[in-house]
Amino acid sequence: MSFSVTSGWALQQASVSVQVGSSTSTVTGEDYKRAEQFLRQHTSDKVYNRVVGQNWSSGNVLIYNTRTPDGKVYYKANPQTGEKEKAFDHKRLAKSLAEETNQEMEPGKLPLRSVSLTDGGNKLRYHFMGKRYETDFSDYKTTKLAQKKKRNEVLSPDGKKAAYIKDYNLWVRDTETGEHTQLTTDGERYYGYATNNAGWVKSDTPVLLWGPNSEKLATFRHDSRDVKEMYLYNTKVGHSDLQRWKYPLPGDSTVFKIERVIVHLGDNPEVVELDMDPDYHRSTISDHIADWGGRFLDNEWINDGEQLAFVSSSRNHQVAQLRVADAQTGEVRDVLREEVDTYFESGYSTESWMVLDDTDEVIWFSERDNWGHLYLYDLNSGELKHQITKGDWRVLDLQHVDEDERMVYFTGANREKGNPYYHYQYKINLDGSGLQNLTPEQKNHRITWSQSKDYFTDYYSTPDTPSVTVVRNTDGEKVMTLEKEDISELKESGWVAPEPFTVKARDGETNLYGLMYKPSDFDPDKSYPVLNYLYPGPQSGSVGGRSFMPSRSDKQAVAELGFIVVEVDAMGTPGRSKSFHDAYYGDMGDNGLPDQITTIRQLADRHSWLDTTRVGIWGHSGGGFASTRAILEYPDFYKVAVSGAGNHDNRNYEADWGEKWHGLLRENEDVNKKELARFAQGDNYDKQANQLLAENLEGKLLIAHGMMDDNVPPTNTLLVAEALIRANKDFDMLMIPNVGHGFGYARNYFMNKRWDYFVKHLKGVTPPEYVIGEND
């Protein structure tokens, strides 16, 4: 058999092909055109009254916008009075902004961001095209404001300072005078301050946490001096440009470490080094120590900035140590320590531990009883006072604490009847009494709190029912209904909702929850091949959020070509119990695939129109890893796979990822004795490496990667390609020049190719000559 690389729209086929299915129907260009109408760019404009762009201003006034048949409208709502009205005169503001910017403006298409009221509601501030403006309602005069924050800066709480990195040192800019002050002086390449590099993601924005009084900040010196490098090169006429950066891998003797410091500003800036050994570059919720805005994770200022509370995480994420540092002396004391057998996480989407200053207590998140719950500790002694929440359900994220009322507010799941992935808003007394669900509707709730924490917006929906958005008070009472989403035009266009389903997991006992997509012209008398979309996690699942969306990527679109698309959150993904999440810890090659297969088989037992002799699978990134694994490990079930940007061997992906989910690399285990043993390393990571299963390929496989992917390096896919070639296996490969992890300019191209691949090899017909996006 021969290896072929796809080029252009034609798939170069090998001289020997594998027949995996047939169909009596054709797939035409009109079918592709209809399918394309189910993509987001064609469905979102058919949905009205969806609340977006929420921004609570002072005085408990909410500004938001929504799309109506007459265009975009910005509203302001006051839950104290129950009044809702347009936030401003859209025609006058459009005219004023057009005069200030010399750009044409349509009142119903104003693209304003971060909209808020100032000066007692007499002025409107907002961002337009990346710049800040203010409009005075007295005369609707619009003025361009000075930029408080420039690119790659972190603004202080008082807005008067902006921190940035220059020559590996930390500097601040006075946003009012423009004066620049150097805070550190001994930073150097690979040993600089506030460096934002996790290997898989990097940025020029510094990683730090400003103190509450804007006079100090917590950060670190990032040590990558002996960490090995990763390399990429672009494609152009002439010599290529080499991209190189520090990128640790599992098993490396040296990985990123941070030396924690507190920097005091003033006339003579001072750097206080914390009296402790360097920490590993780890956080309790992510494989980075920063969020996307550069906030230093797992750090909290306490006692008006006199102390810093933080968590040190071990390299393998199994130990979390809460500590408190003196901001003046750098003295560090240990408060409490938690160690687990797999990995410790402190919340669902954000850290869920918090220090209570007034009472010297700390709320700590733990999954020690198999469910994520909150515990109250004494901050001074580190002794457990009591467990706050308990039961066979889980806390998701700790949101805030009313210390005066001794009341805790948090999101949770798995407690109410129905889908365990629906999120709800709760409150409970610190002593563990008075648990109350503030959002009783049996739907998925997304919450946005007001600045005062007196009110919150509650956006609730399900994957197959549109949203209602209300404002509630802290007792859960609805004080205002803002909008009810209108999808009548969407439904008139032929749109159909995905169908929720429940099946049993591989153990025959645990419920799994997923979505199924059928073509809008579905005929139960026909037989349909199955497409299995998956993202294995372990940090998330295939389905994603359970809120309403008119399009979930291209799942409904590809179903329109005559497929049934199935996605399910398998064991090994988050949001439920600890044991559920731990299902394949230490064996990332599992990828939840046994649950994917049993899901499809159970659905086929229920529905005669599902053809399990024609099953395809696709995914991107972790899903690229898993889809390739599926066709190699289960060739009797999966006949076609399309894999994008897969981390096919996590020894070739950043250290923090594999070491958290698969464990630290251990050498001297049994070496793989197969014919392809040259790819085996003789360690515990062999069992997750896709290239070691290359000889199993029987169906059709298309693997793709961007050549400038600085998240999952393209060597991951090339390892699999080499193994397949050496095994004389026929496959297709697309290496895309000058694109990163998301495929950039080639997104539609690759989606088009994926559709073609499934139509050709699962339906057994020649795909039409159709180009997605050509008719937009």
| pLDDT at residue 671, as a whole number | 54
Burial class (CB in 10 A: 0-12, 13-18, 19+), 689: buried
| pLDDT at residue 1, as a whole number | 33
User: Is the confidence at residue 632, as pLDDT, over 50?
Assistant: yes
pLDDT, average across residues 153-180: 96
Q: Contact 556/345 with Cβ under 8 angstroms?
A: no
pLDDT, average across residues 666-676: 61
| pLDDT at residue 483, as a whole number | 98
Percent of the chain with pLDDT over 70: 95
pLDDT, average across residues 142-161: 93
User: Is the confidence at residue 674, as pLDDT, over 60?
Assistant: no
The residue type of 761 is H
CATH topology of domain 4-44+489-762: Rossmann fold (3.40.50)
CA–CA gap between residue 271 and residue 283 (Å, rounded): 23
The string of pLDDT tens digits covering residues 352-397 is: 999 999 999 999 999 999 999 999 999 999 999 999 999 999 999 9
In 3D space, the residue among 336, 405, 401, 406 whose CA is nearest the CA of residue 364 turns out to be 336
Distance set, CA 359 to CA 336, 557, 604 (Å): 17, 55, 58
Provide the edge-to-edge strand list for the sheet that holds 610-620.
Answer: 4-5, 732-736, 700-706, 640-644, 610-620, 528-533, 564-568, 511-517, 499-504
Q: Contact 92/84 with Cβ under 8 angstroms?
A: no
Q: In the chain, where are the structural domains located?
A: 4-44+489-762, 49-144, 151-224+256-339, 346-422
Q: Contact 124/93 with Cβ under 8 angstroms?
A: yes
Percent of the chain with pLDDT over 90: 92
The string of pLDDT tens digits covering residues 244-297 is: 999 999 999 999 999 999 999 988 999 999 999 999 999 999 999 999 888 999
The string of pLDDT tens digits covering residues 711-730 is: 999 999 999 999 999 999 99
| pLDDT at residue 21, as a whole number | 42
Burial class (CB in 10 A: 0-12, 13-18, 19+), 408: buried
CA–CA gap between residue 627 and residue 644 (Å, rounded): 9
Distance set, CA 314 to CA 153, 221, 684 (Å): 29, 18, 20
| pLDDT at residue 691, as a whole number | 96
- With cut-offs at 50, 70 and 90, classify the pLDDT of residue 7: very low
- With cut-offs at 50, 70 and 90, classify the pLDDT of residue 195: very high
User: Is the confidence at residue 3, as pLDDT, over 60?
Assistant: no
CA–CA gap between residue 53 and residue 66 (Å, rounded): 8
User: Is the confidence at residue 312, as pLDDT, over 60?
Assistant: yes
The string of pLDDT tens digits covering residues 543-583 is: 999 999 999 999 999 999 999 999 999 999 999 999 999 99
User: Is the confidence at residue 62, as pLDDT, over 50?
Assistant: yes
CA–CA gap between residue 260 and residue 237 (Å, rounded): 45
| pLDDT at residue 19, as a whole number | 40
- With cut-offs at 50, 70 and 90, classify the pLDDT of residue 672: low
Which 3 state secondary structure label does DSSP give 627?
helix
| pLDDT at residue 670, as a whole number | 58
Range in 17-21, 40-44, 121-125 with the lowest mean pLDDT: 17-21
CATH code for residues 151-224+256-339: 2.140.10.30
| pLDDT at residue 146, as a whole number | 87
User: Is the confidence at residue 524, as pLDDT, over 50?
Assistant: yes
Average pLDDT, the chain: 94
pLDDT, average across residues 35-61: 96
The string of pLDDT tens digits covering residues 575-605 is: 999 999 999 999 999 999 999 999 999 999 9
In 3D space, the residue among 359, 356, 353, 358 whose CA is nearest the CA of residue 373 turns out to be 353
| pLDDT at residue 476, as a whole number | 98
The string of pLDDT tens digits covering residues 67-93 is: 999 999 999 999 999 999 999 999 999
Residue-wise DSSP of 445-460? EEEEE-TTSSEEEEEE
pLDDT, average across residues 128-148: 94
User: Is the confidence at residue 606, as pLDDT, over 60?
Assistant: yes
User: Is the confidence at residue 11, as pLDDT, over 90?
Assistant: no
User: Is the confidence at residue 17, as pLDDT, over 60?
Assistant: no
User: Is the confidence at residue 6, as pLDDT, over 60?
Assistant: no
Which 3 state secondary structure label does DSSP give 20?
coil
User: Is the confidence at residue 739, as pLDDT, over 50?
Assistant: yes
| pLDDT at residue 613, as a whole number | 98
| pLDDT at residue 10, as a whole number | 33
Antiparallel, parallel or unpaired: β 436-437 and 424-429:
antiparallel
Q: Which residues contact 542 (CB under 8 A, 6 or more apart)?
A: 514, 533, 534, 535, 536, 567, 568, 569, 570, 573, 623
